[in-house]
Amino acid sequence: MLMMPSHTVRILVATQPVDFRKGHDGLAALVQSVLKEDPFTGTLFLFRAKRADRLKILFWDGSGLVMAYKRLEETTFTWPAVRDGVMTLNRAQFEALFAGLDWRKVRALETRRPAAAE
């Protein structure tokens, strides 16, 4: 079971498809060399395959690299346009994408600290 990220975790999507034969170390190397990010910060990295029905997730949980793989059976993921670089998702968008929904239609609610009671 994949633990959903907290609201404070950065979620980055690699917009170029990657070779899905890559494991933990190969994806961590891509994070460093292509995305110019540190894979050991707790940021959640999403990777797409050439086939739009597959994704891999890589993140550092403090004691090791965690990799999750998901393949949709009857539909495809809605991915951002293929281009170089990364794109940021908020948690609500990530949850929609992970569920196979169109994340582009999801907007996170703006939250504000409650005013102190007088």
Q: Which residues of 22-57 are buried (b: 16+ CB within 10 A; e: fewer)?
A: beeeebbebbeeebebebeeebbbbbbbeeeebbbb
Q: Across residues 13-20, what is the average pLDDT? A: 92
The amino acid at residue 23 is: G
pTM of the model: 0.82
- Whether the Cβ atoms of residue 24 and residue 58 lie closer than 8 Å to each other: yes
Which pLDDT tens digit goes with each residue over 32-56? 999 999 999 999 999 999 999 999 9
Tell me, what amino acid is at 17? P
Summarize pLDDT for 45-85 with one digit per residue, the tens. Answer: 999 999 999 999 999 999 999 999 999 999 999 888 777 77
Rounded CA separation 115/21 (Å): 51
In 3-state terms, the chain is what percent helix, strand and coil (to 5)? Answer: 20, 25, 60
How far apart, in whole angstroms, are the C-alpha atoms of residue 19 and residue 47?
9
Domain ranges of the chain: 11-71+84-105
